[in-house]
Structure 1
């Protein structure tokens, strides 16, 4: 619900204000939870923190995507994955430490309130950050957008590179439609098609079995014979492995592209799950199971920590970026809910065979990505509009591959190609020329 709420206000108040709202709600929620002495207060805190996380997980990737240059957009947004995994690892280590240090409610009160300092650190920094230039252009604040693009590109405000980018954004705003009802119609912009792909990429982050591994790691290690401190220590090491390997996409995302990392990651996850299914019921092979649990933790960050957030923002289009991203992120949280609910009865009744489900799903996702997920690497956000507008469900991958990349063209040519020619453009030009 927090993610979907961004559809109502995300494009109205902007990216940074949305992030601020999510962070402010998280502070309130953590205070409610950590100070709870009744179940009702604790439940309210859980509901508020859930809404806050939903808002944050939609707004931050959109802001990162829209403030990045085409060349380094993948690296910039994928940093989010590093901090997601670092947060998970930090929570495990803190929980481990406090479980041994206290024997009262401080075990959970301190660990719950601990993340407040992160929000207190980020909130004042937001006031120093630039708003998304694409959101500013959409609101008619083109001069501000131009200056931010110039700063991001490290170019002069009137350079050909900045003019080309601004012309491209204005051209997209003029030539595309954007009412929310268009999301559910088969129009030339293919917003519904994009929403399905974005939601699928986000759902895969959980349907691959990640949450089953993270939420119930201690239980899995206990079933293998690693109980108490050894089991907790292995759980901490498991989540730390996510963080270590989350650095690899920083150097590969803009070199090898999105599709290859998706498929490479899924291949490793499928093999890891298959081996776990075959060994986790045999005590003599417990070390093999543990090894492939860590292999799972190594392959998952390659394609599914920050990449789905990046991909959803890249394919969604300026006018529908917030609604499509909100739907995609909500698909992730709903998938996580399903996995969290079915894992206890699934593992209890199916034992080691439960992991076969995720091995099959991971293998099945690979051809889906190969056939239906277009490559976005090296393309501007506005270029992806052309990819979808000139293709069908079955040809979008081929069209994304064949369409000439504007990054390979001369900036002067791009500037002229997308030079605005409507009344809106003339008003924008007059407004800019009248600036002091």
Structure 2
């Protein structure tokens, strides 16, 4: 159903009365519904007057209710929004203001935050989704840190799904060279985006390295922050990420909420997080070790965002993001391509070979025959191609190059080889 402008019957009379006062906002947008109300404002869903399909989220803040430090935080938030753009950071549209209110307009994220998803679900996230969520969250934090920006309020509630069930796969804009985002096997995992930049620390070149300002949410806040000691904001962010990753697995925070967390933070010898739950035994030791290191009491021992992302990428590389059905389909494709394949004898080897790992003898035989036919077709087209030379080059590619994970059949692989080996030369390109 399309969004409808909010009328007298929508929400409450007070909300309607307030909406009629939002002059700067209503000049460009139609307010559809109130999504949340706080002590200093509200969040509404709206649509642009010049594009009814463009839905946005609008944070409306009353100027009269903002304290001095909150005005500074709002200014920082707007400044950061103007500076950043990342597929896993909520998109910024614009900011408006009039005599009474300030309006922060961002893209609309309709999937709910991770905390709500954990509360609604009776099971933990599948391993591949867990790793993909970790990759998306860490890549967003890495992007911020590369600009000297620390979020300082990383928590489950500040990672919001783009939708309920659609996949929103994009390439991460991180500092590492390869493509670190992965598309899920069945397209059912939504992406997450980081929101709420009201507590950011933005270090300008040559600026102070450490901060003493207490901020964040108890339960997620690093111990050095709780103790009012000078701290590196980036290291505090990594602790908070560790808490989030822990919660994704254990479905609870490692050190509790509110008062429990405050007592833990003020303790001179705080206890370590509990990793005795059976869920941890089913995960990659690399991932478990990463979470433990992120929750190290000594900030110097915590990995950076770049180091954490490398570990998550390794975790993703170590698992096969294919369902049993996909594997069976892959074997069927392989069997159709060559009689040399046996689903009983090569169920694992052939799949791994097709993915660019060490090629099996069966695959070499099938590849030899395919490349012989391929070279004959190329020779008929006027190309001088030697099948044995082509085979050697193909095997080298299989051993040293990795194809996209969504290319799973032998036909996909041969297509990949054609793209690499028979790439048109620059002089033949118009």
Q: Indicate the TM-score class for this superposition, using the shorter chain for normalisation.
A: under 0.3
Which one has the bigger strand percentage?
2
How does the TM-score come out when normalised to structure 2? 0.26
Normalized per residue, which structure has more helix? 1
